[in-house]
Amino acid sequence: MEEGVVNEILQGPLRDVFDTKQLITDISGSGNNWAVGHKVFGSLYQDQILEKFRKSAEHCDCLQCFFIIHSMGGGTGSGLGTFLLKVLEDEFPEVYRFVTSIYPSGEDDVITSPYNSILAMKELNEHADCVLPIDNQSLFDIISKIDLMVNSGKLGTTVKPKSLVTSSSGALKKRHKKPFDAMNNIVANLLLNLTSSARFEGSLNMDLNEISMNLVPFPQLHHLVSSLTPLYTLTDVNIPPRRLDQMFSDAFSKDHQLLRADPKHSLYLACALMVRGNVQISDLRRNIERLKPSLQFVSWNQEGWKTSLCSVPPVGHSHSLLALANNTCVKPTFMELKERFMRLYKKKAHLHHYLQVEGMEESCFTEAVSSLSALIQEYDQLDATKNMPVQDLPRLSIAM
C-alpha cells in the first residue's frame, strides 16, 4: 500500500506491465500488522477495490479465476490480501480464487510474522479455492544452488548477460543480500506455467477450474505444493536441456519443491502434471507408470493423476514441467508456524498492537490457531492411513 514503494516499481523496468489506473495506494503501509491491513485498510478501500475488480472483470471474455499473490509475514499482504478474498467470494461467487502465498522463513525480519501468517491462514482456509504455499527459504536455496553450480563451472555453463542471476546489482554475487528479483522470477514462472493452457494451444489443455475440481477432494485440504523443472531455465542459464525422463524425476525430488517439503515420502491425495513443449501423451503415461511405484497415494484415489499438455514451451527451451501435489508434506510447515505463534502468544507479546485496532479482539487469535490445529489434525488423520494395504475393489460385472 505504500505510495513510495509502488512509485519505485512504476519507475523501474516493469512499469509497462501495470495499468496505473488500477493501482491503489496509501501514504503508509500496514506496519507489519494484520489487523491494520484487514480491518483498517480493508474497510477504508473496499468500495474502491471492488470498483477496480468490476472494471477488470468487464474486459474478460471468459472469467475463470482470480489470482491473489501475497506474502503472509507482513501486514498488507496477509491482512488486506485475505480481506480481498472475502470480497471476491461475495461479489463473484462462481469464479475460482487461487492464492499464491509466500510463507516467511524462520529467520525473517518481521517479529510479528507468526501472528500475521496464522491470522491470514484462517481466512485462506475459509475463502480460497486453491492455495499454492511457497516459502522464502526454498526460493533462496534454489537460487543459491544455481549460483553455486554456475560459479563452480560444474555445468560448463554460460550465463546470459541480462539474466536475473547476474542483474539486480549482481544480487547473487553479494551473498549476504537476498536476490529478490531472481526469487520472484521463480514464482512468476510458476504462474506462467499454470496459465499456459489458457494462453496457448495444446493437445490436452487444462482449465484453471479443472485444477481445483481434480486436486481438492475436501474444501479444507486445498494447499498444493508446486515444483518446477528444469529449474535452471528460470535463471536463463544456457545449459543443455535435461533428458525428458529426468525432468519428470526432478519434479518429485526435494530440491525442486517451492516449499521445504518432501512429497515423495509423504502421502499424495492427488497430483497434476502440467507439461509444455514437444511432449507426447505416451511420454506422460510412461513416466507416470515409472514413478508410480515410488509414490504413495491415498487408498481411495490410487489413480489420482491429472495431466495437461501445452504445445508451446517457455521461450528458448524445448520443454518444461510444473507439478502440483496435494500432499501431506505441507504439514511440517504449518506445525512450525504454529510453534512460532505459540511462543509469542503464550507471553501475549506484541498483542496490544493488534487489540488497539477497532474490531480486533483476542478471540481472533484463538479462532485462528484453532483453525490451523484442525487443519493439521486432518493431515494427521490422512498420514495415519499411510502404508495401509490398498484393497482391490471388486469390479462391477454387467450381465449381457
Looking at mean pLDDT, say which of 118-122, 142-146, 231-235 comes out highest: 118-122
Quickly state the pLDDT bin for 28 (edges 50, 70, 90).
confident
Q: Give the mean model confidence (pLDDT) for residues 71-82.
A: 95
Alpha carbons 309 and 311: distance in angstroms, whole number: 6
Q: Cell 488486506: give the residue.
A: 80
Range scoring the smallest mean pLDDT among 150-164, 169-183, 341-355: 150-164
Closest to 327 (Cα-Cα) out of 279, 264, 390, 258: 264
Task: Look at residue 127 and tell me whether its pLDDT is greater than 60.
Answer: yes
Task: Look at residue 368 and tell me whether its pLDDT is greater than 80.
Answer: yes
Cβ distance 172 to 166 under 8 Å? yes
Helices vs. strands in the chain: H and E counts, helices first: 15, 10
Alpha carbons 186 and 141: distance in angstroms, whole number: 12
Task: Look at residue 176 and tell me whether its pLDDT is greater than 50.
Answer: no
For 347, phi then psi, to 5°, come to -95, 0
Q: Give me the sign of the Cα torsion angle 29, 10, 20, 98.
A: negative
Taking only the tens place, the pLDDT of each residue in 17-27 is 888 889 999 88
Quickly state the pLDDT bin for 169 (edges 50, 70, 90).
very low
pLDDT confidence of residue 167: 40
pLDDT confidence of residue 165: 42
Alpha carbons 174 and 217: distance in angstroms, whole number: 44
Mean pLDDT (the chain) is: 87
Q: Give the mean model confidence (pLDDT) for residues 131-153.
A: 86
Task: Look at residue 300 and tell me whether its pLDDT is greater than 90.
Answer: yes
pLDDT confidence of residue 163: 47
Alpha carbons 60 and 379: distance in angstroms, whole number: 37
List domains and CATH numbers for the chain: 3-151+181-385 (3.40.50.1440)
* Percent with pLDDT over 90 in the chain: 64
Q: Give the mean model confidence (pLDDT) for residues 70-84.
A: 96
What are the cell numbers at 292? 508410480
What are the cell numbers at 396? 462391477
pLDDT confidence of residue 181: 84
Task: Look at residue 76 and tell me whether its pLDDT is greater than 90.
Answer: yes
200 alpha-carbon distance from chain centroid: 22
Task: Look at residue 384 and tell me whether its pLDDT is greater than 60.
Answer: yes
Task: Look at residue 175 and tell me whether its pLDDT is greater than 60.
Answer: no
| Cα Rg of the chain, angstroms | 22
pLDDT confidence of residue 232: 61
**3-class DSSP assignment, residue 128:** coil
pLDDT confidence of residue 185: 87
* Percent with pLDDT over 70 in the chain: 88
Taking only the tens place, the pLDDT of each residue in 90-116 is 999 999 999 999 999 888 889 999 999
pLDDT confidence of residue 399: 56
Quickly state the pLDDT bin for 397 (edges 50, 70, 90).
low
